[in-house]
Structures are given as structure tokens and as C-alpha cells.
Amino acid sequence: MKDANKRKAIFLLFNEGMGIREISRNLHVSANTVSAIIAQKGEMPEVTRKDKIDIDPELLRSLHTRCEGYAQRIHEMLEEEGIKVGYSTLTRNIRELGLGQSKKQRCDQTPDVPGAEMQHDTSPYNIKFGTTRVKVVGSVIYMRYSKLRYLKFYRSFNRFAMKCFIHEALIFWGYSAPDCIIDNTNLARLRGTGKNAVIVPEMKQFAKQCMALLNASLTIPTWHVFGAQAKMPS
């Protein structure tokens, strides 16, 4: 449907003596459309929108049960009852009634506990030093509740650098949370993912050393991968 301004222009040009074909050629509108707009005197046609067709909810629930949720069969049975309704309208009514849709249950939200959990993550950065851009790795460990952070950048990051970094952070804080969430990195993960992940023995020993160095009655930090507790090698 052409907009009101173009309709008025077509009707005005026609009244000024321009032919239909010439109007069609100049305004890139088909000759049939130009003729129709002229017949409507350049006015926008009134379009009466049909009201939405709503099917009786109880009938629809009953048919949904009888047809075991098969929408095509429901559509056929409605036509047998003399109810003419489009298939898209039928499926809309089914969705609005929530038929055949399993309700999503929200996951339980566990509040953060002060000092109970810390998280370690690494991210690559491209930093400009003078006129040169250098690729570095940002290593950060932070307390989940307080967001207290310890951040350091490395030109390269391996398992030794990871242990040194965490050791520096825990000594600086003088505290280690009992749980440490890590990203799915092979620096600490031997194999598996999530709850099936197995942490390398070297990192288990490192956790024991952290506890001894802090001289505190702390539990050995338990390594986790993506929030799921990982198995510790014996």
C-alpha cells in the first residue's frame, strides 16, 4: 500500500494533465496502482480489521486432550463442528492457553556468603605500549561476595605462573576462601568438565601448601570448574 504523500502526488499530477503511463514511469508505480489511486481520489482506503477469532477455551482444552495435543487434528475437528478458523489462529489460541507447554522452573538462588568463595579467571588483552601493541594475559582472583580483587598481567601464563599469582594474592590478603572457582583451563584441570572434572595433583598439593603458608586454621581450598565441584585426585 502506497503512503499518503505518494497517493496525493499521483492524484495531483493526474489532475494537472499527466497521463497514467507517464505517472507510472516517473514514480515507479504500476499503471494499475495509479489507476486505483486516481479512482480513490488520492485518499487512503479505509481498511476494516476483522476482530480476532477466539475459540471457546473449554472446548479447546477438551479437544487438545482428545487429540493428544495434535494441532492439525484439532483444526480438523473444529471444521467438522462448523467452526471456521485459520490454523495460525488456532495455534495462537493454544499458546495463549498454555496448552502443551511445560512451565519452566526457576533455579534456586543461593545468596553469597562473605569469605566463602573466591574465583580465578584469565583473559587475553591487546595493550598499547607507546606505538606497539602487545598481547598480554590478565589474571584476576576475587572474593565472590565483596568483589575484592587481585589483578596482574603476564606476557605468558602457565601453570607455574598461575601458582605464583594465586600464592601472591593469598599472602597479600592473608586469607583463602574454602572454595575456588576456576575457568575451564588445562592449567588446573587434568580432564573432564563441570562436576566430572579432575584437578591435576600438582594443584591439589599447591592448595595444601597455601593453607600451611597462611598459618591459619583454614580448610584446604577446593577447586571447582565452572561452579561445579571438581574431583580431587587422591
Q: What is the pLDDT along the chain (234 residues), one digit of tens a residue?
A: 457 788 888 888 888 888 888 888 888 888 888 888 888 888 877 665 555 566 788 888 888 888 878 888 888 888 877 788 888 888 888 888 888 665 555 555 667 788 888 888 888 889 888 889 999 999 999 888 888 899 999 999 998 998 899 889 888 888 888 777 777 567 877 877 666 777 788 887 887 776 655 443 333 455 554 443 443 333
pLDDT at 103: 55
Strands annotated E in the chain: 117-129, 132-143, 149-154, 179-182, 189-191, 198-199, 222-225, 228-229
Q: For residues 30 and 229, give the distance between their C-alpha atoms in angstroms, rounded to a whole number.
A: 69
C-alpha cell at 131: 606505538
pLDDT at 206: 81
- From residue 100, alpha-carbon distances to 23, 26, 79 in Å are 54, 54, 21
pLDDT at 229: 40
pLDDT at 55: 75
pLDDT at 134: 92
- Measured from the Cβ of residue 58, the count of other Cβ atoms closer than 10 Å reads 8
C-alpha cell at 161: 605462573
